[in-house]
Amino acid sequence: MKMTGKTALITGSTDGVGRHVARRLAEAGARVLIHGRDAVRANALIDQIVQAGHAAPTFYQADLSSMSGTRELAAAVIRDHWRLDVFVSNAGIGSQNDGPQRQESPDGYELRFAVNYLSGFLLAHLLLPLLKSAAPSRVVNVASLGQHPIDFEDVMISKGYSGSRAYAQSKLAQIMFTIDFAEDVKRMGITVNALHPATYMNTTMVRAGGITPISTVEQGGAAILHLVEGDDVAGKSGLFFNGMNETRANPQAYDAGARRRLRALSRELTGLSS
């Protein structure tokens, strides 16, 4: 996909790998929509892109831990744009952000499930009219090789909680949604794929977990950009990639019954069922 003149939204793009992807898409001539909670970081990124001679991105400030904040972001993008060629669902929190204890979103949901999964699920559905208008368009969900099966009797992990389990569950949920959403939109000219960009990139999330980085944001960013721009993946959808290569996710991702349960729960929690 040639990015000149294309509109691309990258959530969680004021830091880490999202920031790198936003810069590269701006360099490629895209109309970049950046998202984050920190206006200072956003303005620093905008200045950097402009000083490099590229068009200034548009910043959307939103807290994706809440479903109302997610809806406000979608409404703002819909208000300002009539098409969306690329949606990279990248916003997320790691297993140790703000401590290892169980945390809840403003809506009362387990925080990692809300931020890493539900916000992207809701945004993709709300932004679907813009994605259809721009077809062929692409959705890229930034997931992880770290995956844990969903216990549908305790999705919010009220018992036996650990940050690593919560993070891994949210990432598997992203992949399960990728498979389902790809099927939903396959006749609309929209592809949907998920990936593990790179292992332990040098990001704030990884460092917050006390982990020594072993990959760079440039490596992870290249894998994301491959799904955004690559001609070789133009006709591929509903897949999970490890870096540049297609791979298999946790077996639960391919359980149609589990995906149906997740879809019904997600529509209920995000208000899409009403």
The residues annotated as belonging to the active site are 167, 171
Q: Report the distance separating Cα 42 and Cα 23, nearest Å.
A: 12
DSSP calls for 48-106: HHHHTT-PPPEEEE--TTSHHHHHHHHHHHHHH-S--SEEEE-----SSTT-SS--B-T
First to last CA, the chain: 36
Q: Report the distance separating Cα 204 and Cα 182, nearest Å.
A: 30
Closest to 143 in 3D by CA, of 179, 108, 96, 98? 179
